[in-house]
C-alpha cells in the first residue's frame, strides 16, 4: 500500500536569545553534556568580509563525517562554497574540518541514511519511516527542497594542506 506523502515540518528561525543561550550551554561543561551529543557550534568565515560567524547547529554522524542540515532560506551556509574550512565545538572539544554542500544525489543518499539511523530527526521534520524501515523518496525530495545538506570531513594530519584547509584534530 502506498503511503501518503508526509507534511514536512520546518522549524522556524529561533530568536537571537535562543542561539545565545545555546552558545553558553555548549561552553558550560555540565550543560554541554545535556545538549552536546546532538548540537555543536560551527564557525564559518564570511566569503566577502572574512568575518567569522559561530552558529549552533544540530549534527549527525555518518560514515566518519558530520552532517549538518540548514534551511535553504538561511544564508550562513553559503560561505562554505568559497571558504570550506570550518571550526566545530563538539562535546566540549574544538576541532577543525573541511565542509562541502552535498550535491543532489549525495544529499539524497546521506539524508536517507541519517534519517533512517536517527528516527528522532526524521520525526522532527514530520517524516515517518516506510513499512520497510526506509524513507519515502518523495518525502526526501520534499525535504531537500527546503534544506541544504552540509558534510564536514576530517582532514588527515599528515597531508599537506591548501591555505584554506585546516588540520583536523579528530571528531
- Beta-carbon contacts of 97 under 8 Å, excluding residues fewer than 6 positions away, are 66, 85, 86, 88, 152, 153, 154, 155, 166, 168, 171
Domain that holds residue 27: 16-153
* Structural domain total, the chain: 1
Q: Residue 89: which of 39, 149, 148 has the closest Cα?
A: 39
Which grid coordinates are listed for 20?
Answer: 545565545
pTM surpassing 0.85? no
Residue 3 inside a domain? The answer is: no
Residue 164 inside a domain? The answer is: no
Residue 46 inside a domain? The answer is: yes
Residue 36 inside a domain? The answer is: yes
pLDDT at 159: 42
Residue 8 inside a domain? The answer is: no
**Overall average pLDDT of the 55-81 stretch:** 91
- Beta-carbon contacts of 141 under 8 Å, excluding residues fewer than 6 positions away, are 108
- DSSP three-state, residue 136: coil
Return the CATH number at 50.
Answer: 2.30.110.10
Residue 67 inside a domain? The answer is: yes
Residue 7 inside a domain? The answer is: no
Higher pLDDT, 122 or 129: 122
Amino acid at each position: 500500500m502506498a503511503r501518503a506523502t508526509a507534511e514536512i515540518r520546518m522549524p522556524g528561525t529561533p530568536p537571537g536569545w535562543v542561539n545565545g543561550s545555546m552558545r553558553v550551554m555548549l561552553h558550560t561543561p555540565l550543560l554541554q553534556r545535556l545538549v552536546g551529543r546532538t548540537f555543536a557550534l560551527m564557525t564559518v568565515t564570511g566569503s566577502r568580509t572574512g568575518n567569522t560567524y559561530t552558529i549552533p547547529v544540530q549534527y549527525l554522524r555518518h560514515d566518519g563525517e558530520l552532517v549538518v542540515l540548514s534551511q535553504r532560506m538561511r544564508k550562513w551556509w553559503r560561505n562554505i562554497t568559497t571558504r570550506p574550512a570550518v571550526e566545530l565545538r563538539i562535546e566540549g572539544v574544538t576541532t577543525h574540518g573541511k565542509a562541502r554542500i552535498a550535491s543532489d544525489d549525495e544529499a539524497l543518499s546521506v539524508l536517507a541514511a541519517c534519517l533512517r539511523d536517527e528516527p528522532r530527526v526524521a520525526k522532527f521534520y514530520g517524516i515517518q519511516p516506510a513499512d520497510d524501515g526506509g524513507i519515502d523518496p518523495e518525502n526526501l525530495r520534499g525535504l531537500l527542497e527546503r534544506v541544504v545538506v552540509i558534510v564536514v570531513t576530517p582532514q588527515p594530519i599528515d597531508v599537506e594542506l591548501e591555505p584554506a584547509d585546516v588540520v583536523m584534530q579528530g571528531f
